[in-house]
Amino acid sequence: MSHQAGFVSIIGKPNAGKSTLMNALVGENMSIITPKAQTTRHRILGIVNDENYQIVFSDTPGVIKPHYALHESMMHQVDGSIVDADLILLVTDIYEEYDEADVLKKLEGSLAPIAVLINKIDQSDEETVKKKVEFWQEKLKPKAVFAISALLGHNIKAIMDFVIENLPEHPAYYEKDALTDRNDRFFASEMIRAQIFKQYKKEIPYSSEVIVTAFVEGETLHRISAEIIVERDSQKNILIGQGGKMLKIVGTYARRDMEDFFQRKVFLEMFVKVIPDWRSKKNYLKKFGYE
């Protein structure tokens, strides 16, 4: 049998469940998941390997109108993943009020086949789901429409079967033991960022960036140092908390996640640094790994 391989881009608005879907499809926690919108800032590849195929899934930032240079970088990553795609999974959810104009505009130039995934059906009823399916069949005339629950794993196998059926014939793009294009430093920084999203309210998560400054691997212990970047002194004070209490909570939960992920003990130290308006400064964005 010939070998199949291709890029499958997961596209949609913030909070549609793209990262939950990607993790369900790949079977690993590649993308951080929080209840807040715009958690994903980078395009992250999750690779599924089989003797006869290789699927390269792309989890992408939610499509938004850019307000900062950071947002522009995030939207460039979405555009790049659409250009690369052999297949596009457009994720919408049951609460979406048929207002997907920004997402559909991004897809206009693409020749890749599209499947629409209506997510969070576990929070809805049969009649609403049926109306959504009919709307998308009429609106986009996609290759397929799936009603899914990424969180509960409902219809995930059907999506996988659809993807495999529509993969082009091609040699593998990555080594067959590769799970992602990202390194351990990236995942360590994302685990800290996930806790910032979970532990703080309002602008703190959106004004924060995490840079791993040292990552020393050991047989039984990883030593990791990280800087949390914020935009103002007031944010730094909130992030650290009284007597360092809040930062300690972030560190405790992030370290647990890392130990689970790396299967090693982790020594984690974190420092908070202020860089005014870093989200609007292209030199810093480049330094922080945004294209």
Residue 289 known to bind ligand: no
Residue 168 annotated as lining a ligand binding site = no
Is 17 annotated for ligand binding?
Answer: yes
Give all domains of the chain, ordered by start, each with its CATH number.
4-165 (3.40.50.300), 184-287 (3.30.300.20)
Measure the CA–CA gap between 276 and 188, rounded to whole angstroms: 24
* Cα–Cα distance, 8 to 112 (Å, whole number): 9
Q: Is 122 annotated in some ligand binding site?
A: yes
Q: Which residues of the chain fall short of a pLDDT of 70?
A: 1, 35, 98
* C-alpha radius of gyration, the chain, whole number: 20
Q: Is 18 annotated as a binding residue?
A: yes
pLDDT of residue 1: 65
CA-wise closest residue to 260 among 194, 204, 175, 181: 194
Ligand-binding annotation for 62, yes or no, is yes
15 is in an annotated binding site: yes
Secondary structure string (H, E, C) spanning the chain? CCCEEEEEEEEECCCCCHHHHHHHHHCCCCCCCCCCCCCCCCCEEEEEECCCEEEEEEECCCCCCCCCHHHHHHHHHHHHHHHHCCEEEEEEECCCCCCCHHHHHHHCCCCCCEEEEEECHHHCCHHHHHHHHHHHHHHHCCCEEEECECCCCECHHHHHHHHHHCCCECCCCCCCCCCECCCHHHHHHHHHHHHHHHHCCCCHHHHCEEEEEEEECCCCEEEEEEEEEECCHHHHHHHHCHHHHHHHHHHHHHHHHHHHHHCCEEEEEEEEEECCCHHHCHHHHHHCCCC
CA atoms within 13 A on the CB side of 280: 5
Query: Is 202 marked within a binding site?
Result: no
Q: Sheet harboring 221-230: ordered strands across?
A: 209-216, 221-230, 265-274
Residue 84 annotated as binding site: no
Number of Cβ within a 10 Å radius of residue 144: 16
Residue with tokens 């202020």: 274
Cβ partners under 8 Å of residue 43, min gap 6: 58, 59, 60, 61, 77, 78, 80, 81
Residue tagged 């929070």 (tokens): 123
Question: Is there a contact between 263 and 220 (Cβ–Cβ < 8 Å)?
Answer: no
- Confidence (pLDDT) at 98: 67
161 annotated as ligand-binding: no
Contact 20, 120 (CB under 8 A): no
Q: Is 150 annotated as a binding residue?
A: no
- For 81-137, what is each residue's pLDDT tens digit? 888 899 999 999 888 876 788 888 888 888 899 999 999 999 989 999 899 899 989
- Both tokens of 180, joined, read 């992602």
The answer to whether 60 is a known ligand-binding residue is yes
* Cβ(148)–Cβ(162) below 8 Å: no
Tokens 């992250």 correspond to: 44
The answer to the question of whether 177 is labelled as a binding residue is: no
In this prediction, residue 89 carries a pLDDT of 96
Who's near 81: CB < 8 A, 6+ residues apart? 7, 9, 11, 43, 58, 60
pLDDT confidence of residue 81: 87
Q: What pLDDT shows up at residue 239?
A: 95
